[in-house]
Chains A and B, each alone.
Chain A
Amino acid sequence: MASSVQYFDGKSASIHDVRIEMAHDGIKIVGSNIQSTVWPYRDLDAVETPHANRPMRLLNVKVHGARLIIQSEQHKNRILELAPHLSGGLNLKRSGKFIAWTAAILVGVFILFYSILSLAPQTIAKIMPDTWRENMGRQTEQSLVKNARQCTNPAGQKALLKLAGKVAAGSDNPPDFSVRVYNMKLMNAFAVPGGRMVLTRGLLKAADTPDEIAGVFAHELGHVFHRHSEVALVRILGLQLLIGMFTGGGDGQTIGEVAGLATILSYSRDAERQADLFAQTTMEKAKIDPAGLIAFFGRVKKLEEKAKSKSGTLSKVMSLLSTHPGTQDRIKKLKALPKGQAVEILTPLEWKALKNICDETSKPTDT
Chain B
Amino acid sequence: MTDTTFSAPSQPSGGETITITYEEKPGLGWLSIKNWLLSILTLGIYRFWAKTDVRKHVWSSVHVNGEPLEYTGRGIELFLGAVVIFFIVFLPFAVLVNGLQLAGYPMAALSFQFLLMFVFLALYGMAVYRARRYRLSRTVWRGIRGGLTGSSFKYSMLYFGTILLSGVTMGWSNPAMNLELQERITREMKFGDAPFEFRGRAGPLYARYAACWFGSIVAYIIIAIIGVSVFFALGGTEGFQEFFKSFDKKMNDADPTAVIAFILTIFVVIGVFSAIFGVIWSFYKAREMVLFAQYTSFDNAHFRLNATGWSLVGLWFGNLLLVIFTLGIAAPFTVQRMVKYFVDRLEVVGWVNVGQIMQSQQALESRGEGLMDAFDIDGI
**Which residues does A use to contact B, with CB under 8 Å?**
8-15, 47-48, 57, 64-67, 69, 101, 105, 109, 128-129, 131-132, 134-136, 233-234, 237, 240-241, 244-252, 255-256, 259, 314-315, 318
Inter-chain pairs besides A12-B192, A101-B76, A248-B47, 4 sampled, C-beta below 8 Å: A11-B358, A13-B142, A245-B86, A252-B47
- B102 CB contact (under 8 Å) in A8, A109, A128: A128
**Which residues of A are found within 8 Å of B43, using beta-carbon distances?**
109, 246, 252, 256, 259
- A13 CB contact (under 8 Å) in B60, B192, B375: B192
B328 within 8 A of A: yes
**Which residues of B are found within 8 Å of A105, using beta-carbon distances?**
45
Q: Is the CB of B82 within 8 A of A136?
A: no
**Which residues of B are found within 8 Å of A131, using beta-carbon distances?**
103-104
**Which residues of B are found within 8 Å of A250, using beta-carbon distances?**
44, 47, 376
Q: Is the CB of B102 within 8 A of A65?
A: no
- A252 CB contact (under 8 Å) in B39, B76, B374: B39
**Which residues of A are found within 8 Å of B40, using beta-carbon distances?**
255
**Which residues of A are found within 8 Å of B184, using beta-carbon distances?**
none
C-alpha gap A69/B102 in the complex (Å): 62
Nearest 6 pairs between A and B by C-beta? A135-B104, A8-B143, A14-B355, A65-B143, A13-B357, A252-B44
Contact indicator per residue, chain B 136-148, by CB within 8 Å of chain A (1) or not (0): 0000111111000
Q: Is the CB of B91 within 8 A of A241?
A: yes
How many contacts between A and B, using CB within 8 angstroms? 104
Q: Closest approach, in angstroms, between the C-beta of B196 and any C-beta of chain A?
A: 15
**Which residues does B use to contact A, with CB under 8 Å?**
39-40, 43-45, 47, 56, 60, 67, 70, 76, 82, 86, 90-91, 94, 98, 102-104, 140-145, 192, 256-257, 328, 331, 354-359, 373-376
Subset of 26 A-B contacts with CB under 8 Å: A10-B144, A11-B358, A12-B357, A13-B142, A48-B56, A48-B60, A65-B144, A65-B359, A109-B45, A129-B103, A135-B102, A135-B104, A136-B104, A241-B90, A241-B94, A244-B94, A245-B86, A245-B90, A246-B45, A248-B47, A248-B373, A249-B374, A252-B39, A255-B40, A259-B43, A314-B257
C-alpha gap A12/B257 in the complex (Å): 65
Q: Is the CB of A315 within 8 A of B86?
A: no
C-alpha gap A66/B142 in the complex (Å): 8
**Which residues of B are found within 8 Å of A66, using beta-carbon distances?**
143
C-alpha gap A15/B76 in the complex (Å): 32
- B376 CB contact (under 8 Å) in A8, A129, A249: A249
C-alpha gap A315/B258 in the complex (Å): 13
**Which residues of B are found within 8 Å of A48, using beta-carbon distances?**
56, 60
Which residue of chain A has the shortest Cβ distance to B60 in the bound complex? Answer: A48
Q: Is the CB of B256 within 8 A of A315?
A: yes
Q: Closest approach, in angstroms, between the C-beta of A53 and any C-beta of chain B?
A: 11
**Which residues of B are found within 8 Å of A246, using beta-carbon distances?**
43-45
- B144 CB contact (under 8 Å) in A12, A109, A132: A12
